[in-house]
Chain A
Amino acid sequence: MMNVRQVIRGARLAAVLVAALAIAACAKNEAENSQGAAGAMAVPGSQQDFLVNVGDRVWFETDSSELSAKSRDTLDKQAQWLQRYNRYTFTIEGHADERGTREYNLALGARRAATVRDYLISRGIAANRMRTISYGKERPVATCDDISCWSQNRRAVTVLDASS
Chain B
Amino acid sequence: MTILPTLDFALTRRRALALGAAAGGLALSPRYAGAVVRLDVTQGNIQPMPIALPDFVGAGQEGEVAHNVTAVITNNLRRSGLFAPIDPAAYVEKIVNPDAVPRFADWRVINAQALVTGRMTRQNDGRLRAEFRLWDVFAGQQLSGQQYFTTPDNWRRVAHIISDAIYERLTGEKGYFDSRIVFVDETGPKQRRIKRLALMDQDGANVRYLTRGDDLVLTPRFNPTTQEITYMSYGQGSPRVYLLNIETGQREIVGNFPGMTFAPRFSPDGQRVIMSLQQGGNSNLFVMDLRSKATTRLTDTAAIDTSPSYSPDGARICFESDRGGSQQIYIMAANGGPAQRISFGQGLYSTPVWSPRGDYIAFTRQANNLFGIGIMKPDGSGERVLTEGFHNEGPTFAPNGRVIMFFRDPGVGPNLFTVDVTGRNEQKVPTPSYASDPAWSPLLS
Give chain A's interface residues, CB within 8 Å of chain B. 63, 65, 98-104, 106-108, 110-111, 114-115, 118, 133-134, 138-141, 143, 145
- Judge whether B276 and A139 touch: CB under 8 Å: no
Per-position contact with A for B182-200: 1 when CB-CB < 8 Å, else 0?
0000000111110000000
What are 16 contact pairs spanning A and B, CB under 8 A? Answer: A101-B364, A102-B394, A102-B436, A104-B304, A104-B307, A107-B283, A108-B304, A110-B260, A110-B281, A111-B282, A133-B238, A134-B239, A138-B193, A139-B191, A141-B191, A143-B190
**Which residues of chain A are near B263, meaning CB under 8 Å?**
103, 106
- Judge whether A107 and B191 touch: CB under 8 Å: no
**Which residues of chain A are near B327, meaning CB under 8 Å?**
101, 104
B162 proximal to A (CB < 8 A): no
Give chain B's interface residues, CB within 8 Å of chain A. 189-193, 216, 218-219, 232, 238-239, 259-260, 262-263, 276, 278, 280-283, 304, 306-307, 320, 322, 326-327, 350-351, 364, 366, 369, 391, 393-394, 409, 411, 436-437
**Which residues of chain B are near A145, meaning CB under 8 Å?**
411
Kindly state the separation between the CA atoms of A103 and B190 in the bound complex, as whole angstroms. Answer: 18
**Which residues of chain B are near A143, meaning CB under 8 Å?**
189-191
- Judge whether A101 and B276 touch: CB under 8 Å: no
Kindly state the separation between the CA atoms of A103 and B350 in the bound complex, as whole angstroms. Answer: 9
Q: Which of A103, A107, A111 lies at the interface centre, i.e. has the most chain B CB atoms within 10 A of its CB?
A: A103
**Which residues of chain B are near A65, meaning CB under 8 Å?**
281
**Which residues of chain B are near A118, meaning CB under 8 Å?**
280
- Judge whether B276 and A133 touch: CB under 8 Å: no
- Judge whether B280 and A114 touch: CB under 8 Å: yes
**Which residues of chain A are near B281, meaning CB under 8 Å?**
65, 110-111, 114-115
**Which residues of chain A are near B260, meaning CB under 8 Å?**
106, 110, 133-134
- Choose from A102, A108, A140, A141 the contact partner of B393 (Cβ within 8 Å): A102
- Choose from B238, B351, B366, B436 the contact partner of A103 (Cβ within 8 Å): B351
Q: A110-B281, A138-B193 are in contact. List 14 more A-B contacts (CB 8 A).
A: A98-B409, A99-B366, A99-B369, A101-B350, A101-B394, A103-B276, A104-B327, A104-B350, A107-B276, A110-B283, A134-B278, A143-B189, A143-B190, A143-B191
**Which residues of chain B are near A103, meaning CB under 8 Å?**
219, 262-263, 276, 306-307, 350-351
Kindly state the separation between the CA atoms of A98 and B413 in the bound complex, as whole angstroms. Answer: 11
Q: Which of A102, A108, A114, A133 lies at the interface centre, i.e. has the most chain B CB atoms within 10 A of its CB?
A: A102
**Which residues of chain A are near B326, meaning CB under 8 Å?**
63
Kindly state the separation between the CA atoms of A102 and B304 in the bound complex, as whole angstroms. Answer: 13
Kindly state the separation between the CA atoms of A133 and B239 in the bound complex, as whole angstroms. Answer: 8
- Judge whether A102 and B239 touch: CB under 8 Å: no
Kindly state the separation between the CA atoms of A10 and B189 in the bound complex, as whole angstroms. Answer: 34
- Choose from A102, A107, A110, A115 the contact partner of B218 (Cβ within 8 Å): A102
- With contacts A110-B283, A115-B281, A134-B260 known, is A98 near B238, CB below 8 A? no
| Min C-beta distance of A102 to chain B, whole Å | 6
Kindly state the separation between the CA atoms of A132 and B219 in the bound complex, as whole angstroms. Answer: 21
**Which residues of chain B are near A115, meaning CB under 8 Å?**
281
- Judge whether B320 and A138 touch: CB under 8 Å: no
- Judge whether B190 and A102 touch: CB under 8 Å: no
- Judge whether A98 and B391 touch: CB under 8 Å: yes
Kindly state the separation between the CA atoms of A101 and B276 in the bound complex, as whole angstroms. Answer: 15
Going nearest first, the 9 A-B pairs with the smallest beta carbon separation are: A111-B281, A114-B281, A145-B411, A107-B304, A143-B190, A107-B283, A101-B350, A103-B263, A110-B278
**Which residues of chain A are near B190, meaning CB under 8 Å?**
140, 143
- Judge whether B369 and A101 touch: CB under 8 Å: no
| Min C-beta distance of A130 to chain B, whole Å | 13
| Min C-beta distance of B420 to chain A, whole Å | 22
- Judge whether B219 and A102 touch: CB under 8 Å: yes
Kindly state the separation between the CA atoms of A127 and B156 in the bound complex, as whole angstroms. Answer: 57
